Amino acid sequence: MTPTGAVKSNVLEELLAIGESGSPAPLKRRLHTLLGRYGVECWLVTGLQPQTVAGWQDGTLMNAWPDAWYRRYIAAGHYRRDPCVARSLRSPRPFAWRELEREMAQDTAGLRVMAEAREFGLKQGICVPLHIPGGPSAVVTMAGEAVDDAPGADRVLHLAALSAFWSLTGIRKPVVRPGRFERSDLTGRECEVLRWTAAGKTAWEVGQILGIAETTAISHLRNARRKLGAANVVHAVAEALRLNRIQL
């Protein structure tokens, strides 16, 4: 049985096209079309540097932020105080800006950065940190007036961020053709768990569907991440899709 979810086949085709754009202009157009459906109006793809490092903007791979906000952010030195950067440096898990509210209660400098962002129209956002094993660390920040971060929508945005990063950095892995198995290839059960995860199911729900314990589902996800060299579950799903090991 094939699971259904928010990521439809045409969306998958768009995600693959983003990853294969080859140059910034078509990539930017494709991102604008796909991300716009989820309330994303602007984005930034940049390398992750310690917050004490000057010239962080030299690592920018694609800048689709409002020009006035980008200039203000640099001039004010906001990178040093940006709570999104701080979270992205210490955790590989994608997160919505609203998740930062509780931990920012005593962070007046961080609150000021977010307040200024809202003044420039960046009222809601999602960050996708990318800590690629053996590769560069980066973050994709997506924002707008009202960004859809509901389950399903957030997964599309995470996959779009990964696809854009692949396209901009030229990171590629050899494509494993259907039917070709290697020693480190995914097992059938690992593929099942990834497929249901891509459909928006939690580890507990995957366990109920497949008749296995939640801890077993988590173990399968952990093994799949290791085999795929993925930084997180979303990255593992994207890799499995790209290698044609799972379909949606």
Residue 248 — pLDDT band, cuts 50, 70, 90?
Answer: low
pLDDT of residue 86: 93
**pLDDT: is 33 or 176 the higher one?**
33
Q: Map out the domains of the chain as residue ranges.
A: 9-169, 188-242
Backbone angles phi, psi at 138, to 5 degrees: -150, 175
Encode pLDDT of 68-87 as tens digits.
999 999 999 999 999 999 99
29-38, 183-192, 200-209, range with greatest mean pLDDT: 29-38
CATH of 188-242, one of 3.30.950.10, 2.40.50.140, 1.10.10.10, 1.20.140.10: 1.10.10.10
In the chain, the percentage of residues whose pLDDT exceeds 90 is 41
φ, ψ dihedrals at 81, nearest 5°: -115, 0
The CA distance from 80 to 139, in Å, is: 15
Residue type, position 131, single letter: H
The more confidently predicted of residues 68 and 184 is 68
Grade residue 9 by pLDDT with cuts at 50, 70 and 90.
low
Tell me: the pLDDT tens digits for 87-118?
999 888 889 998 887 777 778 899 999 999 99
3 pLDDT higher than 60: no
φ/ψ of residue 103, rounded to 5 = -75, -10
Q: What is the pLDDT of residue 73?
A: 95
Q: Which helix (H) or strand (E) holds 181?
A: none
Q: CATH number for the 9-169 domain, one of 3.40.630.10, 3.30.450.80, 3.40.50.300, 3.40.50.360? A: 3.30.450.80
Distances (CA, A) of 185 to 87, 175, 219: 32, 12, 16
Closest CA to 138 of 60, 195, 65, 72: 60
User: What pLDDT is attached to residue 42?
Assistant: 96
Q: Looking at residues 2-31, what average pLDDT do you find?
A: 73
pLDDT confidence band for 124 (50 / 70 / 90): very high
Global pTM? Answer: 0.68
What count of Cα atoms within 13 Å lies in the side-chain half-sphere of residue 38? 27
Which residue is listed with tokens 């930062």? Answer: 100
